[in-house]
Structure formats: C-alpha cells, structure tokens
Amino acid sequence: MSLISQDIVRAGQILSSGDLVAIPTETVYGLAGNALDPLAVAKIFEAKNRPFFDPLIVHIGDVSQLHLFTTSVSEKAKKLMAEFWPGPLTLLFNKSTLIPDIVTSGLEKVAIRMPNHPMTLKLLQSLPFPLAAPSANPFGYVSPTKAAHVESHLGHVVPMILDGGPCGVGVESTIVDVGSFPVKILRLGGITVEQIEECLNEKVDIQISSSKPSAPGMLESHYAPRKPMFWHGDTSLVNNDAKTGYLSFEGNLSGDILFELSSKGDLTEAAARLFQGMRWLDEQDIDRIEVKRLPELGLGRAMNDRLNRACRS
Ligand code: AMP
Ligand code: MG
C-alpha cells in the first residue's frame, strides 16, 4: 500500500532519499525519481517493468534550470516554451553530462518538460534536482489519471502517491524534436500539431514510429487495456458469444455496457476521459471492447493514435 497524501514536503523527503513518488500532472500521473541519481532512475524502470531502451522525460519546475541539463537552447525551443510551458509539451535538447545515460537510454538528446500542475510545480521548485517521470502504470498498460489508478497497479512498489486529483488533459504530452529540420513530432499529445505549426509559423513533420528506439513510448502495444479492443465494424474478429462493451464518442455507439467519452462531441473532454474509459471497461464483465475512430483533428489525432495502439487488428 502506498501513502496517498497531499503532503509536498513529505514527497520531497522521499524523493531526496532516492525513493520514488507518484506525482500528479495535467496529462497523467507520473512515477517520479531524482533524474540525476541513476539508482533512483533504475528503480523507476524496475517498478514499471519498463525496458531500458525506453527513455524517460525529465520534469523541471522553472525554465532557469534548463541550462544545467542541456548544452544549448534554440530560438524555436524558446518560442514553444514561451507559449506552451508549463503544459503538455516535451522538447528534445542535447543533454549535458549531468543527465545520466540511463535517463535517455544512451541517446544524446534528453526529453524535458515543465508540467502544469500546481502541486507538482511546487514540489519541483522545492527540490535541488529535476524529476524523471514516465507514466505511473505498468509498462504497456493504460496510463493513470487518478491516484487510485496508481494505487491499484503500483501500490505495492511506490511508497507515496501525491494526490492532486484527476488529471485535466488526460493524454500524454506531445513530444517534439525542435532541433531537426523540419521540426519533428515524435508523439501526438496534449498540444496539437496545429498549435505547434501556428506558434512556429512553419509546417512540421509527424514522425510517429512504433519500433524505433528514439521514440519508444510509441511501441505498438502501448496503452492497451487487458480486454481485447477492436475497431467497430471489424467483423473478421467478432465471436457471436462474446459480450461487448463500447467506448462511445458523441453517441456514436450504443450498448448496455458503454462509456461515453463526451456526449456533446467535445474532444478536450473526451481526451480527459479516454484512459478512464478504457480502464472502466476493462473492469466490466465483458469479453471485448469496441470503439470508433474519432475525428482526425486537434486532440482527436492523439486519441486515434492511442486507440490504434490499443486495438487489435
Ligand atoms: P511516458 O512518460 O511513459 O509516457 O514515455 C515517455 C516517452 O518519451 C518515451 O517512451 C519516449 O517515446 C519519449 N522520450 C523520452 N526521452 C526521449 C528521447 N531522449 N528521445 C526521444 N524520445 C524520448
Ligand atoms: Mg507511458
């Protein structure tokens, strides 16, 4: 059992002693450890059962800390940070020697973001080190958007969960490689492609890979519930005896066991409820889950990407 509490000072003490704390962010709950301490970072991989080739995002509480962990910060990065930090945007920078290799899985670039959650910002600002934090779920499972989700899957290995309430955005941060030309989006997330293009005033490349080690959060089976999930209409895989639960958007599916992402067709509301919906369906007495593709714009794109990874095809 983890201690579930709002005590930021206690969380800081546990982290300073080299142990882990699950932290709230606006995207999903993170499993945090001192990013400058390779042993603490190793504990994160161990607790999540996460492969070591999957690098972690480093969280900072203030832009002034950035120069410590990077060798240079480009004008484009500055523009994006000014507009979207704190927020669900992760940027890649050339790492300084302070960042241990285990954080980046040996890559030269480190992924950094400033999360927009008052408790976690306060915690980060009180610590003399940044926090490495992947999502606080077992590797490959649906990301947690509430303290109770973390407790149910990682409660036996995490000493404390800092309870900051439900996460507002609900899908992970967008990951951007600003150093490449054109700028590359490596993971779709809470800041949309349209927002990034508008801020930089240029077109970006979407380069989402399912197997490349430079963006391993994108592994094919990521974000999957334990129950098999299918695209609605995929009749090749329907077994007539199977009980189906539905993940609906704006009433586009119906059934006895149904989770509605947003009855008014609001993609922001749907994103905030996506992982909660998959998790809820996973707990129902059903054999399979069906979902329909969401509109391919704004946050709908990031959600379709997660659903694509979760669905069997
Ligand atoms: P998670 O925090 O578990 O949602 O996953 C974080 C994801 O960030 C990783 O799986 C990678 O896809 C991405 N990431 C972290 N560090 C890097 C990096 N140095 N280069 C490219 N992608 C990264
Ligand atoms: Mg994850």
SS (H, E, C) 136-191: CCCCCECCCCCHHHHHHHHCCCCCEEECCCCCCCCCCCEEEECCCCCCEEEECCCC
128-177 pLDDT, tens digit per residue, is 999 999 999 988 888 899 999 999 999 999 999 999 999 988 888 999 99
Per-residue confidence (pLDDT) for residue 171, from 0 to 100: 87
Q: For the chain, list the domains and their CATH numbers.
A: 3-218 (3.90.870.10), 229-310 (3.40.50.11030)
Rg (CA), the chain: 19
User: What is the H or E stretch that residue 248 is in?
Assistant: strand 244-248
- Alpha helices, H only, 211-298: 267-283
Query: Nearest ligand to the C-alpha of residue 101?
Result: 1
**For ligand 1, atom 9, which residue shows the shortest CA distance?**
217
Ligand nearest to the CA of 185: 1
Alpha helices for the chain (secondary structure H):
8-16, 38-48, 66-69, 75-84, 101-104, 118-126, 147-154, 193-200, 267-283, 299-310
pLDDT at 289: 94
Contact between 106 and 113 under an 8 Å Cβ cutoff? The reply is: no
From the CA of 48, give the closest atom in ligand 1: 3
pLDDT of residue 212: 41
CA pair distance 66, 49, nearest whole angstrom: 29
Give the Cα separation of 70 and 90 in Å (integer): 14
What is the pLDDT at residue 224? 74
Tokens of 93: 């920078």
266 alpha carbon – ligand 1 mean position (Å): 28
Give distance in angstroms: CA of 223 to centre of ligand 2: 7
Distance 57 CA to ligand 1 centre (A): 6
Pairing of strands 30-34, 131-132: antiparallel
What number of residues does the chain have?
Answer: 313
Q: Which atom of ligand 1 is nearest to the CA of 135?
A: 3
Q: What spatial distance separates the first Cα and last Cα of the chain, rounded to whole Å?
A: 37
Q: Whose CA is nearest to atom 22 of ligand 1?
A: 215
CB 119 within 8 A of CB 162: yes
110 C-alpha to center of ligand 1: Å? 9
Taking CA atoms, 265 is separated from 164, 274, 289, 297, in Å, by 27, 13, 20, 13
Which two tokens mark 44? 């994160």
Query: Ligand 1: residues whose CB is within 6 Å?
Result: 54-57, 92, 104, 107, 109-111, 134-135, 172, 175, 186-187, 214-218
Q: Which atom of ligand 1 is nearest to the CA of 187?
A: 12
Question: Which pLDDT does position 238 carry in this prediction?
Answer: 67
CB neighbour list of residue 27: distance below 8 Å, 6 or more residues apart: 88, 115, 167, 169, 170, 171, 172, 173, 189, 190
List CB contacts of 307: < 8 A, sequence separation 6 or more: 229, 291, 293, 294
Distance between CA atoms of residues 91 and 63, nearest Å: 12
Which residue shows structure tokens 């060798």?
71
Going by alpha carbons, the residue nearest to atom 1 of ligand 1 is 134
Secondary structure class of 2 (helix, strand, coil) = coil
Between CA 161 and CA 134 the distance in angstroms is: 14
Separation CA 75–CA 65 (nearest Å): 17
Q: How many angstroms does the Cα of residue 81 sit away from the middle of ligand 2?
A: 22
Q: What spacing in Å lies between the alpha carbon of 122 and ligand 1's midpoint?
A: 23
pLDDT of the chain along its 313 residues, tens only?
899 999 999 999 999 999 999 999 999 999 999 999 989 998 998 898 887 778 999 999 999 999 999 999 999 999 999 999 999 999 999 999 999 988 988 788 999 999 999 999 999 999 999 999 999 998 888 889 999 999 999 999 999 999 999 998 888 899 999 999 899 999 999 999 999 999 999 999 998 865 443 444 455 555 678 899 999 987 666 677 789 999 999 999 999 999 999 999 998 888 888 888 998 999 999 999 999 999 998 889 988 988 988 887 6
What atom in ligand 1 is closest to the CA of residue 217? 10
**What is the model's pLDDT at position 209?**
64
Query: How far is it, in rounded angstroms, from Cα 71 to Cα 96?
Result: 5
Q: Which two tokens stand for residue 256?
A: 């006895």
Looking at all shown ligands, the one closest to residue 141's CA atom is 2
